[in-house]
Amino acid sequence: MDSTVLSLRIDGELLERLRGHAAKRGMSVQDYVVRTLIREDFDERFKSAVEETEKFYGPGDGSADPPAPDRDRDQVRPSAGIA
């Protein structure tokens, strides 16, 4: 994978907060920021995929009732055949 340099200018207070968050996870600030950006990118891609799926299949709001069990079929119970 190719890598490219990204230079940021951030407020000192924000940098200290980032250092604290990174330290809690045993990470460098750079790794913490990169992981956060990757997670945000994933969230955006996942949201887009859900929206596309809903366009195709309709919203999955759970409003449809699940099908009723087949009452004419014999059901096997866990205790069946155990004396």
Q: Please give the tally of structural domains in the chain.
A: 1
In a domain, 50, yes or no: yes
Mean pLDDT of the chain: 80
* Closest of 24, 18, 11, 16 to residue 37, by C-alpha: 18
- 48: containing domain: 12-57
- Is 75's pLDDT higher than 70? no
Give 33's contacts (C-beta < 8 A, 6+ positions apart): 18
* Closest of 24, 46, 21, 45 to residue 33, by C-alpha: 21
Q: How far apart are CA 37 and CA 1, in angstroms?
A: 17
Q: What is the pLDDT of residue 78?
A: 54
In a domain, 20, yes or no: yes
Range list of β-strands (E), the chain = none
In a domain, 66, yes or no: no
Of the pLDDT bands very low, low, confident and very high (cuts 50, 70, 90), residue 65 is low
